[in-house]
Structure 1
Amino acid sequence: MERGHNNTRSHGMNEREDYASIDIQEDSDIPLSDSMREMIDGLPPLSNDCCIYRVPKRMREINEDAYTPGELSIGPFHRGKEHLQAMEEFKPRYFQSFLNRTDRMTLKSCIRVAKEWEEKARSYYAESIKLSSDEFVKMVLLDSSFIIEVIWRCKFCIDQNTSYLNRKIWMSSLERDMILIENQLPFFILEGLMDLAFPPSQGSSSFLHLSINYFAYSGIILSDMNESISSSGVKHFVDLLRLCYLPSSLRPLKPYQVQYVQVPTAT
């Protein structure tokens, strides 16, 4: 009987030791659990707007130059690269020109509206953008105003003789960089800034119309496509080119073109 009692007591001690070891193990896992919970909780929400991304590594390795801007950085992916710094000097000058041309926008109002767009703009990129809010807003304003000014000057032949960026050889380089998928700004920012500064109702051309004419001038797209494209369906310049080459039946309809069909009842 004593041997059986000893076995029972030994079994009970082993169970307590097992529970103790589990408790110790769980305690040691708390820091890892906390860090993983922090990682999971800190994930930004996935957005349906996500449409600007880096080219897959294998594609880039085949021909890196085909996916890398040669002169102009737009957006965050190639920002700060050494070989693109020469063009960065033009951006503040073009932003100044943009502000001088409008009596509706000031520097402060541009910053304010860009901050209002920031969250949505960030959601267009397939990866988190490691820029502070101020850095992101500054990038958006300099890049978008530069693009608007380049397109505007091309349309109205401004500074043709004084700015070498308006000469054909440079225009071709800028156009090429502006249609790279890694080198994009959301279209709503470009159009929104243009519309606030120069409302279409005051007789100026829409930014969509100016953009199509700009790319048509170089032969990238046809010039008669603007009537069948709605700017609300354009995500960025690459997407604009895609829409231009889609059959008209597959393009997003403009609001006034939506047709409602009455379906007959089963009775």
Structure 2
Amino acid sequence: MATEAEFVTAPSTPEPAHPMAPVAEPPPAAHQPDNLEIVVDERLRQHAGDDGSSSPMTIFRVPAHVRDASKELYEPRLVSVGPYYRGRAALRAMEQHKWRYLHELLAEYPAASLADCVRTVRGVEQQARRCYSERPPVIFAAQAQGGSSEFAEMLLLDGCFILQFFIKWFRREPDKLCDVGWGLPLLLSDLLLLENQIPFFVLEALFRAVNPQASRLGLLMLIVPHFKVEDSTFCKQVLAGVVPTQAAGEIHHLLHLLYEALVPREEELASAQASASPPPSPRHESRLPRMGLRLKTAVSKRFAFVRDMPRVPGWRRLSASMTLLRKVSAWFSKALIGVKTQTEAEPDDRSMAAPPPPMVVPSVTQLREAGVRFEKAPSPRHMFDVTFDAARGVLRMPRMEVDYANKAHLVNLIAFEQTMGGGDRLLSSYAALVGALVRTGRDVEHLQKRGVAENLLSGDGDAATRFFQQLGDCGSLDYGDHHFAAMFRDLSGYYHSSWRRHKARFLRDHCSSPWAVLALVVAGCAFCFAVIKFGTTVYGLAHPYCHC
């Protein structure tokens, strides 16, 4: 009986595959991710949603080489606000004051609860995280862990600390921290640093949480008066109960608010320039040729007898002298014709394309040698109200205080201005102007004498090198097109005018004191007597037989 194995068909020998027949591919193996792929994918998930479309980056950091050269200007010394300097050992003492300020704020507004403030901060946390150009560990930890509250706690503490600080200052309430002599200046200086900020919409949200009836105008009236810019149009509108145009849009942070309050808008600058009276035209340049022609005509009429003198033997001895006089007269006539031609062609020259403005202007000492006078502006509208009267050679500037507090504000405002992009960049242009004008201690000394500068530093040389020369360290400027480009051109042209330099040297050497003026008058009288004597001698030689 046949078994089951006998009915199993033996495997047949496979036939050789045709050379053109397709070969079946093996099934793909499972994808094994590389370690680098895993790391990059995790970092991409951390940065998801940070494209800046909904909330662009508004809080930047100063370049490291600039910050390392002047850390006292860009880094906080008492309190940290925001993630950049959070946790620094020198600033940890202020953390307990932040908790105290939070407790006082909640106790002062019983209608607002801690839950409301926390809910408000959670609502703006993601938007606030995208405002920072760099991602410190506190932001990465909040993104990676998902439920981390460190970043939200920072926003809550810093926001309530700033609000309570300005509320107590506005009400003039005593505070142990601010009553210390160095406490208030350091606090205000730290709150206005570029790298020490939190978004302004966080402050607005917390202000509405503790006071639901509050608005942006109420917050502005709380903060702006303490910027000490009472003369600005921005501050006047806020105190009048009107939201300025600059504040109607988006305010990034406190430093941006100070910038809008301090720097006028282009429309305000244009209206101020239009209302200002034009400087008087330089009439002396056009009068000079006419005065020369009148002098030549008068001289020709007065000494007409010289041409009609009879030919006498004694006159031949003066033929060489008369030839020289005729040559001098011809040269003088040719010079007057050249000046007249240049004056008539001046309007055509002005219509031509002006050369590019220089990158620097002469210093105060150099401009003084050319006859430029520096005066304090009588009623400046703002700190940029700098004017130069080329006809009279007068440069008027608003009064400026030279101290470290103003320096810290200015350099941080200039650094913030660089992050805005475009615009007139008034602060950078102003820094370039004063940095070029003031180079040595002599420049600072003269500005102090004229009432333009008030030096509160140790010396004039220190003010020149550590104040004026460092204002533009974090600023870049298009020298072909900026706010003071025309003034750069006018000052450079005034200095390079040889006529003005010689005139200024003459006035400085011969008219600087009453005795110098008296010596000049005596010398002029002696010259006139010599000319009269020479004229009578010539007349006697021409008319030897005349005894009149």
Normalising by the smaller structure, the TM-score range is 0.7 to 0.9
| Residue equivalent to 2:218 | 206
Aligned partner of 1:100 among 88, 107, 117:
107
Counterpart of 2:254, as a letter, is F
Tell me which stretches of 4 or more aligned residues in structure 1 moved more than 6 Å. 217-222
CA contact (8 A) 1:212 1:221 kept: no
Measure the CA separation in 2 of the matches of 1:211 and 1:111. Answer: 23
**Matches of 1:144 and 1:29 in 2, distance apart?**
44
1:140-187 Cα offsets, whole Å, 9 max, x none, are 11111111111001110112xx52424553111101000111100101
Indicate the RMSD between aligned Cα atoms, in angstroms: 3.4
Give the alignment partner of residue 236 of structure 1, picking from 236, 240, 253: 253
Quick one: which of 241, 245, 248 aligns to 2:262?
A: 245
Report matched runs for 1:1-267 at 5 Å.
30-44=34-48, 45-47=50-52, 48-128=55-135, 129-132=139-142, 133-159=148-174, 162-167=175-180, 169-200=182-213, 206-216=218-228, 223-224=235-236, 226=238, 227=242, 228=244, 229-230=246-247, 232-249=249-266
3-state DSSP class of the match of 2:149?
Answer: helix
CA pair 171-223 structure 1, distance change in 2 beyond 3 A: farther
- Tell whether the 8 Å contact from 2:117 to 2:210 is kept in structure 1 after alignment: no
2:232–2:262 CA contact under 8 A, matched in 1:
no
C-alpha deviation, 1:54, in angstroms: 1.8
Q: Which residue does the alignment assign to 1:19?
A: none
The percent of aligned pairs where both chains have the same amino acid is 27
Q: Distance in 1 between matches of 2:140 and 2:260?
A: 31
Flag the 1:40–1:90 CA change in 2: closer, same or farther, 3 A.
closer
Alpha-carbon distance in 1 for matches of 2:253, 2:42: 34
Q: Aligned AA for 1:69?
A: P
Equivalent residues of 2:120, 2:209 under 8 A apart: no
Which letter does structure 1 place at the counterpart of 2:196?
N
Moved more, 145-154 or 123-132: 123-132
Contact 2:232 2:261 in 1 (8 A): no
Higher mean C-alpha displacement, 131-140 vs 147-156: 131-140
**Residue pair 1:104, 1:196 contacting (<8 A) in 2 also:** no
CA shift at 1:130, angstroms? Answer: 3.0
Q: How far is 1:250 from its partner?
A: 6.0
Q: Give the aligned residue type for 1:64.
A: K
- Structure 1: tracts of 5 or more residues without a match: 1-22, 252-267
Alpha-carbon distance, 1:103 to partner: 2.5
Q: Which has the higher contact order (CA 8 A, sep 6+)?
A: 1
Q: How many equivalent residue pairs?
A: 228
Shift of 1:241: 1.5
Q: Report SS of the residue matched to 2:183.
A: helix
Structure with the bigger percentage of helix: 1
User: Which whole-Å CA distance do the structure 2 matches of 1:201 and 1:91 have between them?
Assistant: 22
Quick one: distance in 2 between partners of 1:218 and 1:89? 34
| Worse-matched range after superposition: 110-119 or 211-220 | 211-220
Task: After superposition, give the CA deviation of every residue in 1:60-108 in whole Å (9 maximum; x if it has no partner).
Answer: 1221111110001101110111111121111111100000011321112
In 2, are the aligned partners of 1:195 and 1:206 still within 8 Å (CA)? Answer: no
Q: Which amino acid aligns with 2:152?
A: V
- Unpaired runs of 5+ residues, structure 2, are 1-27, 143-147, 269-548
TM-score, normalised via structure 1 length? 0.73
